[in-house]
Amino acid sequence: MIKVIFLAVFVLGVVTASVWSGALPARALFSFEARIPWRAYEYILFHPAEILTRYDLVQHTMQQEELDRYTITQLTNENATLQTALHYQKTTSHHLVLGHVVSYSVDPLLKTFIIDQGTVNGIQKGMAVVSASGFLLGTIDQVSARQSFVKQIQSSDMEFLVHAVGNNVPTSDFIARGMTNYVKATKIQNSQYPDRVFVVTSGLDGKFPPGLLVGEAHNFNPSTDHTFTEAIIDTDNEINTNVFVVTNATQ
């Protein structure tokens, strides 16, 4: 009702202002030339409910079209993620269980998320969790029958052994340590590395299976006491809807 009154007052105001300013002479309101616009004014004045109904219909149609576009984009992205996951599942030697992320920690310092797989699916504490493209995301920290908490490798209490892979790179192990917002490579004894090199889990510490892709190490620099080399590891920080739990043994 308030919309109807407002619309009627608005239209009357426009007509009155037009006549008062001379932009629309009063006699023109009833002239043949003004018959069409005047009928438009008349229709708005005497059929406000229908006008508002049509307006609401247009608004609803526009909102539905926007929702459809968003849904199509979302489904396209999800399909691409599933295709990547399928490819990784076919090419890896690890035993994988597909899980879906159901919630994230609201505290950015905790670096945890929850998936919809638990003990009924064979999930156990300490199992590795990887992204659809194979990057190590974290480890199962707590597990219930149908859900599990995943602690990400960026967490400040995460520490595990890794080594570089590639042609003509040292294969000695060093430590990957979570620094809340990134992962640092430390205790590197050999400094003869290229500018950027991929890093995988070694599996020798029993925390993760060997060969899981951690990320790409770069910025190799001496530590503050110059006793070893340190680097930054670029990890997969984008956690999509689908992840994998690695269920085979860590050794």
Rounded distance between C-alpha atoms, residue 133 and residue 87, angstroms: 8
Is residue 32 predicted with pLDDT exceeding 50?
Answer: no
- Give how far Cα 50 sits from Cα of 4, 7, 46, 62, 142, Å: 10, 12, 9, 18, 58
Domain assignment present for residue 73? The answer is no
Domain assignment present for residue 216? The answer is yes
Which tokens go with 63?
């909102």
Percentage above 70 pLDDT, the chain: 68
Highest mean pLDDT, choosing among 65-69, 82-86, 225-229 = 225-229
CATH of residue 233: 2.40.10.340
Over residues 151-167, the mean pLDDT reads 91
Bridge-partner residues for 131, per DSSP?
243
At 238, the pLDDT band (50, 70, 90 cuts) reads confident
pLDDT for 24: 47
Q: Which domain holds residue 112?
A: 94-251
114 and 202 housed in the same domain: yes
Residue of 127, 223, 242, 108 lying closest to 177 (CA atoms)? 223
First-residue to last-residue Cα distance in the chain: 72
Residue 148 or residue 193, greater confidence: 148
